[in-house]
């Protein structure tokens, strides 16, 4: 059944490439489609290079900084198509309706600015009420930082990794965004701190109704906190579904991701790794881009276009031509 409720974000057939003056444009994302509902927490999972960050960059207008651009498709945020927004539009939008905690944010806070100064910078762009000092304190309270007066005067290198990540989340929340994108926010943090950051994100969603996109390599982490999951492989969305739907995956790549999870491996058993490597960008094969690594590959998988997502939008969707062969796996 099609879910007709109005979505906050709708990404449709997004294609992103890196134009080159002499060579053919390198296509790095092709066939990315998914929705994010109001107040929904959506996880994007996929191995390194699958295009997770580039897809999110298209939502905050920073593709150009990486030499990339949207070649086709739509990124509808409420009623505005961000895929083709001009730089003037981005100047108004950036850092406002969508907050972004960049990948490697642990190294991200400006090392020469105190936490107070970083928050003032972020708050300058927002039009929320109150003095900058009041708002900065409120933001640090929101991300559960204690000893606020001391922390405001400190530099990033004086804080632990978990605290630095909380500060980055506070900065991203400065404009009270409707959507917060957290790109691998817990990479490099120990397991306990990881869990605390996840709890914090969930609390932010529950308390303020902020929709959240959480990018991670770790399906277990996403399962714990998200409502829905988007699986990416070689620049394409290969499966979309609710966390419970994902317990019976309809794409062999998701099956493989599930089997390679440390948390559900039987103690003493050998951890299953995913066969082969994802094809490199620019070297995608004809047909399904997962075919070369797939355990249920059929003769029709290696011809034609990479399959689209089958199934109704909002329901459990998979880009596998032979998902029925996965039943019972």
Ligand X SMILES: Nc1ncnc2c1ncn2[C@@H]1O[C@H](COP(=O)(O)OP(=O)(O)OP(=O)(O)O)[C@@H](O)[C@H]1O
Binding site for ligand X (CB under 6 A): 18, 26, 28, 46, 48-54, 66-67, 103, 217, 281
Nearer to ligand X, 119 or 234 (CB): 234
Q: How far apart are CB 54 and Mg ion at their closest, in Å?
A: 8
DSSP 184: S
Closest distance of CB 152 from ligand X, Å: 31
DSSP string covering 217-244: S-HHHHHHH-SEEEEEETTEEEEEEETT
CB atoms within 10 A of CB 64: 11
Count the alpha carbons within 13 Å of 73 in the hemisphere toward its beta carbon. Answer: 22
Burial class (CB in 10 A: 0-12, 13-18, 19+), 27: middle
Mask of contacts with Mg ion, 73-112, x by CB under 5 A? ------------------------------x---------
Report in angstroms how near the CB of residue 56 gets to Mg ion at its nearest.
Answer: 8
CB of 271 to ligand X, least distance (A): 19
Among ligand X, Mg ion, none, residue 281 binds (CB under 5-8 Å by kind): ligand X
Q: Does 318 bind Mg ion (CB under 5 A)?
A: no
Listed residue (42, 88, 104) closest to 237, CA to CA: 42
Angle between helix 115-124 and 161-172 (nearest 10): 20
Shortest-Cβ-distance residue relative to Mg ion: 53
φ, ψ for residue 113 (rounded to 5)?
-110, 140
CB atoms within 10 A of CB 199: 13
201 versus 297: smaller Cβ distance to Mg ion: 201
Residue 91 contact, options ligand X, Mg ion, none, Cβ 5-8 Å cut-off depending on partner type: none
The DSSP call for residue 61 is T
CB count in 10 Å sphere of residue 227: 17
Distance CA 238, CA 294 (A): 13
Nearer to ligand X, 33 or 50 (CB): 50
The entry of Mg ion, ligand X, none near residue 19 (CB within 5 to 8 angstroms by kind) is none
Asked whether position 50 contacts Mg ion by CB under 5 A, the answer is no
Q: Residue 272 CB, nearest distance to Mg ion (Å)?
A: 24
Q: What is the rounded CA–CA span in Å between residue 258 and residue 266?
A: 13
Q: Indicate whether 53 belongs to the interface with Mg ion (CB under 5 A).
A: yes
Return the number of the residue (46 or 73) whose C-beta is nearest ligand X.
46
Please identify, using beta-carbon distances, which residue of 28 and 169 lies nearer to ligand X: 28
The answer to whether the beta carbons of residues 245 and 316 sit under 8 Å apart is yes
Location of structure tokens 């150009």: 64
What is the nearest approach in angstroms of ligand X to the Cβ of residue 270?
25
Task: Please state the closest distance from residue 193 (CB atom) to ligand X, in A.
Answer: 20
* Pattern 180-199, Mg ion, x by CB under 5 A: --------------------
Catalog residues that contact Mg ion under the rule CB under 5 A.
Answer: 52-53, 103
């Amino acid at each position: 059944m099609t879910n007709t409720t109005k979505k906050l974000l709708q990404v449709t057939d997004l294609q992103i490439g890196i134009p080159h003056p002499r060579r053919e444009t390198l296509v790095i994302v092709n066939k990315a489609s998914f929705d994010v509902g109001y107040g929904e927490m959506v996880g994007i999972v996929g191995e390194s290079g699958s295009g997770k960050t580039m897809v999110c960059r298209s939502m905050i207008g920073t593709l150009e900084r990486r030499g990339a651009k949207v070649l086709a498709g739509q990124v509808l945020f409420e009623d505005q198509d961000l895929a083709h927004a001009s730089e003037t539009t981005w100047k108004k939008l950036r850092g406002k309706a969508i907050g972004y905690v960049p990948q490697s944010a642990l190294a991200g806070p400006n090392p020469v600015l105190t936490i107070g100064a970083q928050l003032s910078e972020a708050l300058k762009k927002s039009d929320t009420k109150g003095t900058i000092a009041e708002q900065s304190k409120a933001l640090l309270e929101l991300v559960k930082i204690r000893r606020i007066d001391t922390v405001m005067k400190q530099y990033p290198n004086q804080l632990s990794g978990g605290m630095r990540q909380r500060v980055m989340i506070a900065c991203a929340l400065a404009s009270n965004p409707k959507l917060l994108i957290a790109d691998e926010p817990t990479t490099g943090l120990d397991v306990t701190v990881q869990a605390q950051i996840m709890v914090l994100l969930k609390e932010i969603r529950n308390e303020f109704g902020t929709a959240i996109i959480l990018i991670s390599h770790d399906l277990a982490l996403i399962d714990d906190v998200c409502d829905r999951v988007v699986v990416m492989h070689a620049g394409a969305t290969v499966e979309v579904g609710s966390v419970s739907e994902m317990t019976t995956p309809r794409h062999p790549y998701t099956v493989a991701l599930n089997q390679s999870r440390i948390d559900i491996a039987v103690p003493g058993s050998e951890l299953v790794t995913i066969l082969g490597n994802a094809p490199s960008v620019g070297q995608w094969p004809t047909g399904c881009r997962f075919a070369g690594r797939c355990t249920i590959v059929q003769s029709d998988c290696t011809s034609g276009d990479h399959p689209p997502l089958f199934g109704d939008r909002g329901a459990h969707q998979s880009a596998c031509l032979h998902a029925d062969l996965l039943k019972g796996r």
